[in-house]
Amino acid sequence: MAYLAGQLVLAVEAGAPNNGVADGTTARVKSMWIRGRKHTYVSAQAFRRWLRDTMVDLGMVPSPTERVGKAQKKAQQATTAADPIRYVDDDLFGYMKATKKDGDSTTLRDSPFMVGTLVSVAPVRLVEDFGVMSRGIPEPVLHSHEFYSADLAAPFLLDLPRIGTFTLGGQRSGRANYLSEQDALTAAEAMQLGGTVTTFRGQPAVRLPLEVRRERAALLLDALATIAGGAKKALHYGDRIPAFLLLAAMRGGVNPFAYVVEDPDGRGVQVRGDVLAKELDAWSGEWLPPIRIGWRPGFRDPVREEFHTAVKDRLEGGQILIDHPRSVLTDLAQEIRDGEHDDWFEDRRGQRSE
């Protein structure tokens, strides 16, 4: 079994990719205070929306959404079709759908793809831009908005064995994927596509064919390689492809790279080769070589030289590979499509097909 664990960094130059609640006529970006200093951030929900939209651009048919509940009542919901057999995004990103039919019923799927909040590595000084709308009107309209430059970092984790695997049996606790109302429908649809009945992490489950699961994982990686999105693109267009990417296949669902990317001394983003080396030693036997690093040319070149020096032996030994983030992601996607990592889709605690 394998989880793809990693860290990504987005370089925002004079941008406002994720806005918060407006303050009068001023559009505010999302920000937070960490140890008395202001940091900007992009929410995980926004990033996942960018990723989903990019997957649609690559040919994915998205799960249709529906708003339920009356406007004057508090119990409003917006849900997808909750059909991960048919829709890739329902499979990879999860959902919760509550319905009322002969009593309350909830259908739940945890997200195999998990990502943290993209928080600026160093503190940020926000800029407030003043604007005027005066075309063809006697009284100009004044407005303003915030923007900033920062490197935003977040961890992520992809549970590969869970892709295309759906547990059954009405489990209302733990990591349920379906509840009993959906059992027959799920099994029938999966079996029509060539799926199998199995046991997954102690629960009865149905699983889509391996080639389907391969393609879904590869599509997600392809989308990360070409991701686009964000607010205020007309005024603050910017590239959202990761400037830095750290990716490792882990035997367990841990991410040991929390302190590899940081700003320890106020100089801005540092990629700590010494920290990475110590983490790899501590987790010896739990990661599968090579560690893949994507580093865009021109991004923090002095830091890159320091990093190369710190991990020189591991680079020469092939434990660490460095390339462009796009190449790292698309090459791994193709390896997965070609079946080179099929063992990553199996659970360490065992699968039993019937």
Helix (H, G, I), strand (E, B) or coil at 43: coil
Confidence of residue 150 (pLDDT cuts 50, 70, 90): very high
How many angstroms separate the CA atoms of 190 and 175, rounded? 20
Higher pLDDT, 186 or 195: 195
Higher pLDDT, 139 or 328: 328
Burial class (CB in 10 A: 0-12, 13-18, 19+), 267: exposed
Please state the rounded mean pLDDT for residues 308-316: 96
In the predicted model, is pLDDT for residue 353 greater than 80?
Answer: no
Please state the rounded mean pLDDT for residues 163-191: 63
In the predicted model, is pLDDT for residue 254 greater than 90?
Answer: yes
DSSP of 221-255, one letter per residue? HHHHHT----S-HHHH----S-SEEEEEEESSS--
Give the list of residues 6+ apart from residue 316 with CB closer than 8 angstroms, or none: none
Contact (CB, 8 A) for 290 and 280 = no
In the predicted model, is pLDDT for residue 104 greater than 80?
Answer: no
Residues of the chain with pLDDT > 70, as a percent, come to: 87
pLDDT in tens, 207-216: 999 999 999 9
pLDDT for 351 equals: 44
In the predicted model, is pLDDT for residue 285 greater than 60?
Answer: yes
pLDDT for 169 equals: 62
pLDDT in tens, 215-237: 999 999 999 999 999 988 888 89
Residues of the chain with pLDDT > 90, as a percent, come to: 64
Distance from CA of residue 185 to its chain's centroid?
A: 29
pLDDT for 350 equals: 44
pLDDT for 55 equals: 98
pTM reported for the whole predicted model: 0.90
Average per-residue pLDDT in the chain? Answer: 88
DSSP character at residue 58: T
